[in-house]
Amino acid sequence: MARRALTPTCLRLVQCVERVVGPALTDLPACRIGLSGGADSLALTAAVAWARDHRRGPLAGITVSARVVDHGLQAGSAAVAATAARQAESLGVAAAVVRVAVGAGPGLEAAARTARYAALTAGPPALVLLGHTLDDQAETVLLGLARGSGTRSLAGMPARRDCLVRPFLSVRRTDTEQACRDWGLTPWSDPANADPAYARSRLRAAMGTLEATLGPGLAEGLARTADVCRADADYLDALALPVATSQPTLPVDDLLALAPPVRHRVVLRWLRELGDDAVTQAHVLAVAALVTDWHGQTAITVPGGQVIRVGGSLHRVPRA
């Protein structure tokens, strides 16, 4: 990337990258950017390249690459991926395009996300940098509220989880768009972001109206809510963690000794041994009732099997 004076917006993004990514480099000294070609990930690529090449901070001289995942879900997706890779290379960042197969169906978004993350984390160990912004965080919290989710869902996306790092959670989407203009980059606009078939797209279209109705600072307030909920959820999860859930039985007395929020987390982890992410709050509450409101209920059907109470224990029975 040719050196020239940074605009205030670009400087802010570079400083965000240094502040968030820098400490994580002590665990994994290389970075792999998840690049879609959109404004967020393109600005992230430029900010990392600038911090590597023109700053004396923690990213100076580090190994950086970009990986473009082509889901093959839209006409011309291969050309979009190739253009994104070329723009990364123009910034001095080596880029590779990976084509993944995503099956059609009602869970298309989740299937595409799973395939994308698998492709981004494959290969030699590296920090995987994602371009999610404060706006994405606010939308995630609102979607969780609309589903009636608990604190873990309202906690949104952490700045770091394992190898995944999100440096831009304090950055507005308008800033990444402005940074692309300042750096002379041409981002791709994903038509799926305006497709009313997706709940997030409908919410994104309505955010301006919501902010006009409720007042400025809505997105920032929702992001702060995520931070508070994440701290609470992390604390409650830590209390639940010592309770073993890998066994097919849970003693009722052990569960009764726990506060309800902790008990529900234990039951959730235990049920996920059968049904993974298909387990819902309704399943958790139905099974918890076998502990707190026992009056001879029959087996509770849960994803992957059933739960029954026999004497003083809950028994997890896998589906045949």
In a domain, 15, yes or no: yes
Within this chain, do residues 245 and 196 fall inside the same structural domain, yes or no?
Answer: no
Q: Range of 276's domain?
A: 241-318
- Of 176, 195, 214, the residue that ends a domain is 214
Look up the CATH number of the domain holding residue 275.
3.30.465.60
In a domain, 226, yes or no: no
In a domain, 1, yes or no: no
Distance, in Å, from the CA atom of 205 to the CA atom of 209, rounded to the nearest integer, reads 8
Distance, in Å, from the CA atom of 22 to the CA atom of 51, rounded to the nearest integer, reads 10
Q: Angle 40-41-47 (CA atoms, 0-180°, nearest 5)?
A: 90
Return the half-sphere exposure (C-beta side, CA atoms, 13 A cut-off) of residue 22: 15
Q: Is 162 helix (H, G, I), strand (E, B) or coil?
A: coil
Within this chain, do residues 210 and 245 fall inside the same structural domain, yes or no?
Answer: no
Q: Could you tell me the sign of the dihedral formed by the alpha carbons of 55, 61, 62, 66, in that order?
A: positive
Q: What is the mean pLDDT of residues 18-29?
A: 95
Return the half-sphere exposure (C-beta side, CA atoms, 13 A cut-off) of residue 190: 20
Within this chain, do residues 159 and 272 fall inside the same structural domain, yes or no?
Answer: no
- 69 pLDDT band, cuts 50/70/90, is very high
Query: How much is the pLDDT for 106?
Result: 54
pTM above 0.85, yes or no: yes
In a domain, 227, yes or no: no
- Indicate whether 57 pLDDT > 90: yes
Within this chain, do residues 169 and 270 fall inside the same structural domain, yes or no?
Answer: no
Query: How much is the pLDDT for 111?
Result: 83
Lowest-pLDDT choice from 65-74, 105-114, 136-145, 194-203: 105-114
Q: Specify the DSSP class assigned to residue 5.
A: P
- Indicate whether 1 pLDDT > 80: no
Domain count, the chain: 2
- 52 pLDDT band, cuts 50/70/90, is very high
Q: What is the mean pLDDT of residues 272-301?
A: 91
Q: What is the mean pLDDT of residues 72-100?
A: 93
Within this chain, do residues 273 and 202 fall inside the same structural domain, yes or no?
Answer: no
Q: Write the single-letter amino acid at 117.
A: Y
In a domain, 136, yes or no: yes
The model's pLDDT over 243-277, given as tens digits with 9 standing for 90+, comes to 989 999 999 999 999 999 999 999 999 999 887 77
Within this chain, do residues 297 and 153 fall inside the same structural domain, yes or no?
Answer: no
Q: Specify the DSSP class assigned to residue 6.
A: P
The model's pLDDT over 133-174, given as tens digits with 9 standing for 90+, comes to 999 999 999 998 888 778 888 999 999 999 999 999 999 999
Q: Specify the DSSP class assigned to residue 106.
A: T
- Indicate whether 313 pLDDT > 80: yes
In a domain, 70, yes or no: yes
Distance, in Å, from the CA atom of 108 to the CA atom of 310, rounded to the nearest integer, reads 39
Within this chain, do residues 107 and 186 fall inside the same structural domain, yes or no?
Answer: yes
Within this chain, do residues 71 and 204 fall inside the same structural domain, yes or no?
Answer: yes
Mean of per-residue pLDDT scores for the chain: 92
Residue 13: CB atoms within 10 A of its CB come to 27
Within this chain, do residues 277 and 163 fall inside the same structural domain, yes or no?
Answer: no
Query: How much is the pLDDT for 113?
Result: 87
Distance, in Å, from the CA atom of 127 to the CA atom of 125, rounded to the nearest integer, reads 7
In a domain, 22, yes or no: yes
Within this chain, do residues 131 and 180 fall inside the same structural domain, yes or no?
Answer: yes
Within this chain, do residues 24 and 94 fall inside the same structural domain, yes or no?
Answer: yes
In a domain, 255, yes or no: yes
Query: How much is the pLDDT for 108?
Result: 75
Query: How much is the pLDDT for 105?
Result: 56
Within this chain, do residues 262 and 128 fall inside the same structural domain, yes or no?
Answer: no
More confident residue, 294 or 107: 294
Query: How much is the pLDDT for 237?
Result: 94
Look up the CATH number of the domain holding residue 138.
3.40.50.620
More confident residue, 114 or 252: 252
Q: What is the mean pLDDT of residues 41-65?
A: 97
Highest-confidence range of 88-97, 113-122, 146-155, by mean pLDDT?
88-97
